[in-house]
Structure 1
Amino acid sequence: MINKIIFLILIFFALFFPTKYYNIYHFVLLGGASLLILINGVKLNISFYARYFLILIVLIVFNVFVSSIYLGSDFFRNATEIFRFLPTLLFLLCYRAININRQNIYFLFCSYTSVVTIICCLQYLGFESVLNLSRIYGSELQVENSLIISSRAIGLSTGPGNNGAMFTILYVYFLSNFLFFKERKSINIIFMLLCAVSVVFAQSQTSLVAISLVTLFSLVILFIIDKRKVLNFYVFFVFFNVILGMGVIFYKFLNKFGYLISLFEEGLTRNSYKVRVEKMDAVLDLSFSNPIMFFFGYGKDLVPNATALDNEYAFYLGVYGAFSLMLLFVFYLYFLTSVFNKNKNFPDFLLCLTVFAGLIIAWPSSFTLDPRLLFIFTIYLIFSLREKNIQR
């Protein structure tokens, strides 16, 4: 029972604590994972998922060592990158001690979605009362430029892009529940709509594209593994209502979606996109300039704009090296294909759709480098491992 309480507290913390306090966020999760291991004394289980994060951490340390010897980079500053992934590794090593169930997670995700959608609505409508709350979670620059000037809701995230990414992942969660289970169809429809509306409030073009593509992808996957579910009337009903609801909101408040409209009008010619491309080109030029460091990475202190690259793949390539990026794609490929296994289960379906959405989100933003999204991904991995144990 104590294990369940500790982990539920950690989930609540991960959902609602400001991620801009990066060190506190990671060390609390690290402490929670260590506590679970200590109080249970469980035998550590090195699953495939745990092996990936273990190899990634070892690879990062080795790459940092090579960079410090070869280029004189700051070993200790770059080595702190392992704390991004260390909590996930520890949780996966002691997953047998984490005995939460799907209902607990469902309730917490519903609570987060309900509360933060209201906050997004108030932020979008310009209520002064939420500005102080917004400053706790986002930087003054994001509050001023994104929230006040552009009416882009940041929710309880550091910026509108992160907020959109968060609701995209939650949309995937409710979509997976809707498609896979017979119960709570109406509730899942409501929360899918809330997630989609929050993405519109954030005016995140990437998240809107991700939601659209993952919806189509889910239907294709489901048609392959179970045609009967796709032909269900509810499937078509919900997608029609989600699109209709978003369209009504967009039309009613058209004048307040200036940023989003400009994204669609200007497309790749927009200045912010050009800046992102320039940052990515700088990382690519740096990486290809040295064949050795291309594979091992330069570390944060030698990569220009490493903390503001706006592209997870460029970060992996420049900071961690090509070996780490290739390892990431192999890991993702596993989830995209495991859904076709004979023993079809909900965690595999959910992970497949989440990874697909994450692949899109990571291009102009972050997925595994976002601490909140990585923790949610960790929860799904734990569910998958526990489900596989039950099937055995």
Structure 2
Amino acid sequence: MAGGTVDRVQRLEVVVNQLMEQLGDLPEGYVLRSSLDETRDAVEAVRDHFQQVEQSFNARFVALERIQEDMAVLKRAVAGVELGGSTGHSSMARMKVPDPKHFDGERSAKELENFLWDMEQYFKAAAVPEEEKVSITSMYLAGDAKLWWRTRVSDDTVPQISTWAGLKTELKRQFLPTNTSWLAREALRRLKHTGGVREYVKDFSSLLLDIRGMSEDDKLFNFMAGLQQWAQTELQRQGVQNLQQAITAADRLVDFQTIRTNDSGQGVNNVNKEPMNGNARQKMKKKAVVTETVSGKAPFNYEKSKFGGCFICKGPHLARQCPKREQLSAVQADEDGPSCARMGSLQLVCDANEPQLS
């Protein structure tokens, strides 16, 4: 037993001696340097991890700040609506935006352009999102325009319209006449000043809206060419240089003509009346023959009232041809003598009363 223990101790001493010999062969500081490298690697790994965590934290912090800003804007908007604030968004929320006029598919440049303009103003005032503009616009199509839209939506062979810009392009391609400017120029060439000056100005301005690219000199020339000669002379005398000056001067001509006519005594209602021709006079004579019953009396004839016969004997002749004219003259001559009263052949004698009067 004791021998076995001694053997084990001896073997252990041998192993220890071998280990000591091996440790004695290692360079000095080997163990410390190895531990330092491992520690340095661990520190670098921890540093990289902390940098990643910091970057993630910064990104989340920026997102949180944006969310807080959006929340503040929403709170101000909601508070403005509830308290009746004067902000633009709250005013839009309280104001009822009028609906635009329907477009029935008329092939008119002015009608289509006005419809598109009204829809854009409606979208702006009502704050309509971009993705809802197409569906809302389709609700304001009528007539041929609605029929076209239904056919366009049900057609699977063509791409669907999903944007407002695409819908405007398709509407113009379908309903905008290609020769609008040409037709407007032709109508402008035929336009003449035949009625009032203001009517001519209105028609000229309406046609000019359909013409693009006309120079200012051409506008003035066409406006002056359609006027009557007296209006052209007056505008040339005033020396108008552009279309706006010509229109303003033409409006003053209308006002001056109306005032001058009223001052002449004819009245406002007689400004545009034409002189009476022979047919009109004949019609007026026929109207004069019509009789009327006034205050229950016998009908009064306008035609017969022109000649009532002799006022002495009521005969169908003139007074100067009356056979009793000489008798009337004799009666008037006798009235220059003593004052007497006579009526027809009846004579009131007053000679007997003359002495009493003296």
Going by fraction, where is helix more abundant, 1 or 2?
Answer: 1
User: Normalising to structure 1: TM-score of the pair?
Assistant: 0.20
Q: Which has the higher contact order (CA 8 A, sep 6+)?
A: 1
TM superposition score normalised by structure 2: 0.21
